[in-house]
Structure 1
Amino acid sequence: MEYKEREIQPITIDITRQHRRYAYRIIKRVFDFVASFCGLIILSPLFLIVAIAIKVEDPKGRVFYSQTRLGKNQVPFKMYKFRSMVSNADELLAKLLKDSDVDGAMFKMHDDPRVTKTGRFIRRYSIDELPQLVNVLLGQMSLVGPRPPLPREVAEYTEYDKQRLSVKPGCTGLWQATVRNSVGFDEMVKLDLLYISKRSVSFDLYVMFKTVIVMVHPNGAY
């Protein structure tokens, strides 16, 4: 199943219907809790290896990086990742915003000078995202859902864009598992809304399966 820009029409989310899907939401939360708990235990050796690699390259920097993101209904929370950039990355961002490779309310730069050598590797295979399992365990995120945006990004959202904030954000989603950085912001929003309109247990499993494939054969993560 492939998703191309011309195949995705503007979507209006029935928020009331999404809120009433009690059975699906309960199943999703139970699965998220069990999977994230088991994942953190199973992946703990990998966490240790990545932590050592980050510290060896930059002994003064922190292993983990937290950033305020907006979740369901624009509720802020701290999202965790392995640090893949230099320690003063946030300070350098203002100088790089004009060089973004993605149009719209999202910053992405293919050759971001702030990314470390270890950071490039863990980003390529999406390993830097694994600490978000803590956010899933805490109920702030889901395994599958729209990418959680930054407050400055949401400040530029239209009402149409804000529909993607009607559900809990995810560690991965339809955008990340398919086209990723090969499309712009508007196409990302369309894919997120397509996911929300179609989401189900089977569709979540499909996205997770695609994500595993992407981690083995990267699709342009940077």
Structure 2
Amino acid sequence: MNDDLQGISFSNSRILDREKLRSRHLYHFCKRIIDMVLSACGLVILSPVLLAVAGGIKHEEKGGTVIYRQQRVGKNGELFSIYKFRSMCMGADKKLEELKQLNEVEGAMFKLHNDPRVTKIGKLLRRTSLDELPQLYNVLKGDMSLVGPRPPLPNEVAHYSEYDKQRLLVVPGCTGLWQVSARNEVGFHEMVELDLQYIQKSGLLYDLALILKTIKIMIVPNGAY
């Protein structure tokens, strides 16, 4: 197992204290302020990168869109539209049904190492996580936080157990413990455990550590696909 996962307990018995989570007003307030400041600064500072990526996507598939918009499930089951750079060919969602039998992970999540729908530039974007940069706009809007559980698809949540639904008790994030912990080396149930562990341990310093680790991974990719 990857060194990032050492010391993590996959107990499948982590019950979160919902009242304690709701009462952390100072943490939530500070986290929201940090989210707004850093996401706004990020969109400005990274604007040359955003433009370069958009140009590359347009060059590869001239008739295609640059931004991919998809419905996701946020805190307490509320739906929102997530924004990403398009890393798949046009019409990729319609082709998913044909590939479901090739899914490489168990549970309510789809992962395929050599997904034929991913474009050439899309492979680079996914490896470096650059496809996630438009989510800074989601953070600025308040749909997401910089750090938190990955926001799932509605059809994934339809298969969640009550235990799994605990990961929907907080605002979803662009990055988190699962995202920086060799995310393609663990399955759905391990992802849930990592998210619940993050929620239990969450704090401003812990969030900062995960943000710094994410920046490192963008420079030295951890095998995301």
User: Structure 2: which amino acid aligns with 1:55?
Assistant: K
> Shift of residue 168 of structure 1?
0.2
Of 141, 144, 147, the match for 2:144: 141
Of 7, 10, 25, the match for 2:9: 7
Question: CA deviation digits over 1:74-105, x for unaligned, max 9?
Answer: 10000000000000101101101111111110
Match of 1:177 in 2: 180
Match of 2:99 in 1: 96
Question: CA deviation digits over 1:35-64, x for unaligned, max 9?
Answer: 000100011110110001000000010000
Question: CA deviation digits over 1:115-164, x for unaligned, max 9?
Answer: 00010001100000000000000000000000000000000000000000
Match of 1:39 in 2: 42
Compute the RMSD of aligned alpha carbons: 1.2
Of 186, 198, 203, the match for 1:200: 203
Distance 2:55 2:4 in 1: 38
Structure 2: 5+ residue stretches without partners: none
User: Structure 2: which amino acid aligns with 1:15?
Assistant: R
Which runs of structure 2 are paired with 1:77-92 in the superposition (5 Å)?
77-92=80-95
Paired residues in the alignment total 222
Structure 1: 5+ residue stretches without partners: none
Distance 2:23 2:169 in 1: 13
Which runs of structure 2 are paired with 1:51-66 in the superposition (5 Å)?
51-66=54-69
User: Structure 2: which amino acid aligns with 1:7?
Assistant: S
Distance 2:92 2:147 in 1: 27
> Shift of residue 219 of structure 1?
1.3
Question: SS in structure 1 opposite 2:207?
Answer: helix
Distance 2:167 2:121 in 1: 32
| TM-score under structure 1 length normalisation | 0.97
Distance 1:136 1:142 in 2: 5
Tell me the percent identity. 55
Distance 2:43 2:217 in 1: 20
User: Structure 2: which amino acid aligns with 1:172?
Assistant: T
Match of 1:28 in 2: 31
> Shift of residue 187 of structure 1?
0.3
